[in-house]
């Protein structure tokens, strides 16, 4: 009467149980207030993975690890889309020069300095590692992933400048330099150092720009298609969230299919599509997209960190104490030197200077995480004989940065009295004054003959209003209409707060 068909449902059951287990770990740790205060979520999830990995290793003898395809095709895209869709674009573009300097020049500095430090100590390693393989490892270990630090920044409300610099750096760091340079060096390693010619280096240099700008172009096209599709779906509220989530993922897959930057494509797609999508879809659909994107992103992050803990318990680790120690010290030291050096150069062109305390927190926030682990797992062991040693060292670096730096960043922020930012709801008058100030600054730059930030922003706003919005938006809004919508939004929030305060006041009914 009843049969047991485990083979037919094995995969979906395993996925469901894994998701449920990850949720239980988060719930369990968040019930321990002392642990949550000391350690970031990522560290606690890694501990949960370590415990499960130890149980699996001792009772089932099965080696479980995070497969690169699972990471790059299913777990990474939701995180990248969430980063692009909710990116504070005004602050991002105001500090774009500084962020790009940290992400591109800073990462190249980290790769070169870490690579040469590792190569200097190569006679003391347990195995001989070619220079090209060392540079390949230096490239992947330079992938900064400050998820834990950003969560602390949000909790303590650090100033917007510090937040956007760390956030933007990690975004462009992974999207532009790490993946692009890693694939170029990985291809060289497969060819073999002895067979490399000048043409191979020229191709690698050309591919850097091709992969990056190709990913941007695909992201722009994806945003345009998403905006146009939602423009004609205003009467189909039930399919609007699916359009907004499916098309960016499709842009990511297309970019990966043609060996371009998938991360950059989905980030650009999410960043550019949001203004037009928000005006085309209903408020219910917009809320659905926001909540689903956040939920999916946080779930994928949790799964990745649990997998990192599981991967620590493996039979295929190869340990080299000297190589591991040099890597940890080099990552820490080179990050600080690079941050202070580049900030000095950036401050020469900045009106709002980045202080020494903020520089220290930025340097200390250089955590390593899922990106560098996913990259090291894609290495071909036949082309890179030291792969097992690279994997083991990468896990040690991740554990060190997450547990040591991630756990101490919060008390450091408080001890150093890092400038914080109060959340203040602007009223309509403040919005009008802010717009008038931007217009005045753009006018002053035009009179002075300087094409500065405000001048360019005004030109881009006019170009968007005259050419892009009429095509992409279902009902293009004038500046006055947007101001009235902001007025209604602010009034609704203020009314809700006033009602809640009256309900919680003595003598009022509890909500």
Distances (CA, A) of 500 to 90, 403, 486, 509: 31, 39, 21, 10
DSSP string, 435-493: HHHHHHHHHHHHHHT---HHHHHHHHHHHIIIIIHHHH-SS---HHHHHHHHHHHHHHH
427 class by beta-carbon count within 10 Å (0-12 exposed, 13-18 middle, 19+ buried): middle
Confidence at residue 370, expressed as pLDDT on a 0 to 100 scale:
76
CA distance 410 to 41: 13
Q: Residue 307, Cβ neighbours under 10 Å: how many? A: 26
Per DSSP, the three-state class of 182 is: helix
Q: Where are the domains of the chain?
A: 68-415, 428-504
At residue 510, the pLDDT reads 47
Class of the CATH domain delimited by 68-415? mainly alpha
CA pair distance 248, 262, nearest whole angstrom: 10
List of residues 6+ apart from 195 with CB closer than 8 A: none
The span from the CA of 137 to the CA of 379, in Å, is: 10
Element (H, E) at 147: helix 147-156
Name the pTM for this structure.
0.85
Distance CA(393)–CA(77), nearest Å, equals 26
CA gyration radius for the chain? Answer: 25
Spatial neighbors of 62 by CB under 8 A, at least 6 apart, are 56
Residue position matching structure tokens 């040099």: 326
In what helix (H) or strand (E) does residue 42 lie, and over which residues does it extend? helix 41-59
What is the pLDDT at residue 400?
A: 92
The distance of Cα 387 from the centroid of its chain, to the nearest Å, equals 25
Instruction: State the Cα angle at 411 between 94 and 321, rounded to 5°.
Output: 95
Q: Would you state the pLDDT for residue 485?
A: 66
SS3 of 77, please?
helix
Distance CA 370, CA 376 (A): 10
User: Quick one: pLDDT at residue 411?
Assistant: 87
pLDDT in the model for residue 422: 65
Contacts of residue 71, defined as CB under 8 A and 6 or more positions apart, other chains included, come to 304, 370, 373, 374, 377
- CA dist 208 and 213 (Å) reads 9
pLDDT of the chain along its 511 residues, tens only? 566 677 778 778 878 887 888 888 888 887 877 777 778 778 888 888 888 888 877 777 666 777 778 888 998 899 889 988 988 888 888 888 999 999 889 988 999 999 999 999 999 999 999 998 999 899 889 878 756 566 667 666 778 888 888 888 887 776 666 666 666 766 776 666 666 677 766 776 777 778 888 999 999 999 999 999 999 887 788 899 999 999 999 999 999 999 888 888 999 999 999 988 988 898 889 999 999 999 998 888 888 888 888 888 766 678 899 999 999 999 999 999 999 999 999 999 887 899 999 999 999 988 888 788 888 888 888 888 999 999 999 999 999 988 898 888 888 888 888 887 766 666 667 666 777 777 787 777 778 777 777 777 778 877 887 788 888 887 666 666 666 666 666 676 667 667 777 676 555 544 4
Apex 274 CA angle, 268 and 279, nearest 5: 155
pLDDT of residue 3: 67
User: How far apart, in whole angstroms, are the C-alpha atoms of residue 62 and residue 165?
Assistant: 42
* Helix, strand, coil abundance in the chain, percent, nearest 5: 80, 0, 20
Contact 114, 334 (CB under 8 A): yes
CA distance linking residue 38 with residue 497, whole number of Å: 32
249 vs 129: CA distance, rounded Å: 38
CA distance 264 to 271: 10
């Amino acid at each position: 009467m009843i049969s047991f068909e485990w083979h037919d449902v094995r995969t979906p059951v395993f996925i469901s149980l894994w998701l449920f287990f990850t949720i239980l770990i988060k719930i369990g740790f968040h019930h321990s207030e002392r642990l949550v205060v000391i350690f970031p979520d990522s560290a606690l999830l890694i501990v949960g993975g370590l415990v499960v990995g130890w149980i699996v290793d001792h009772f089932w003898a099965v080696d479980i690890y995070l497969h690169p395809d699972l990471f790059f095709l299913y777990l990474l895209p939701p995180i990248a889309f969430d980063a692009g869709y909710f990116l504070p674009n005004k602050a991002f573009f105001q500090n774009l020069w500084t962020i790009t300097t940290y992400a591109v020049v800073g990462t190249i500095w980290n790769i070169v300095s870490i690579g040469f430090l590792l190569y200097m100590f190569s006679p003391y390693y347990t195995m001989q590692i070619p220079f090209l393989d060392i540079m390949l490892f230096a490239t992947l270990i330079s992938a900064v992933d400050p998820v834990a630090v950003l969560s602390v920044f949000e909790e303590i409300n650090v100033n917007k400048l510090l937040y956007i610099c760390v956030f933007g750096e990690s975004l462009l760091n992974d999207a532009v330099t790490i993946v692009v340079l890693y694939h170029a060096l990985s291809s060289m390693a497969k060819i073999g150092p002895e067979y490399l010619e000048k043409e191979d280096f020229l191709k690698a240099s050309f591919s850097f720009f091709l992969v990056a700008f190709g990913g941007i172009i695909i992201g722009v096209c994806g945003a345009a298609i998403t905006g146009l599709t939602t423009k004609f779906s205003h009467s189909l509220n039930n399919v609007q969230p699916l359009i907004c989530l499916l098309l960016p993922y499709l842009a990511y897959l297309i970019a990966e299919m043609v060996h371009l930057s998938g991360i950059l494509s989905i980030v650009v797609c999410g960043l550019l599509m949001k203004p037009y999508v928000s005006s085309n879809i209903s408020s219910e659909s917009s809320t659905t997209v926001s909540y689903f994107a956040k939920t999916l992103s946080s779930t994928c992050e949790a799964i990745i960190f649990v997998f990192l803990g599981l991967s620590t318990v493996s039979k295929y680790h190869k340990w080299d104490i000297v190589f591991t120690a040099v890597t940890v010290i080099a990552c820490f030291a080179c990050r600080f030197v690079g941050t202070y050096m580049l900030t000095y150069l950036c401050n020469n062109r900045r009106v709002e200077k980045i202080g020494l305390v903020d520089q220290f927190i930025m340097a200390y926030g250089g955590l390593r995480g899922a990106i560098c682990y996913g990259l090291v797992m894609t290495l071909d062991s036949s082309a890179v004989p030291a792969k097992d040693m690279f994997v083991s060292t990468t896990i040690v670096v991740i554990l060190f940065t997450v547990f040591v730096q991630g756990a101490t960043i919060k008390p450091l922020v408080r001890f150093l009295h890092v400038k914080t930012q109060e959340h203040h709801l602007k009223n309509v008058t403040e919005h009008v004054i802010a717009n008038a100030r931007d217009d005045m600054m753009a006018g002053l730059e035009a009179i002075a003959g300087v094409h500065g930030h405000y001048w360019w922003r005004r030109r881009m706003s006019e170009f968007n209003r005259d050419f892009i919005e009429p095509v992409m938006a279902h009902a293009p809004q004038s500046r006055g209409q947007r101001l009235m919508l902001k007025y209604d939004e602010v009034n609704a929030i203020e009314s809700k707060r006033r009602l809640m305060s009256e309900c919680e006041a003595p003598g009022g009914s509890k909500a």
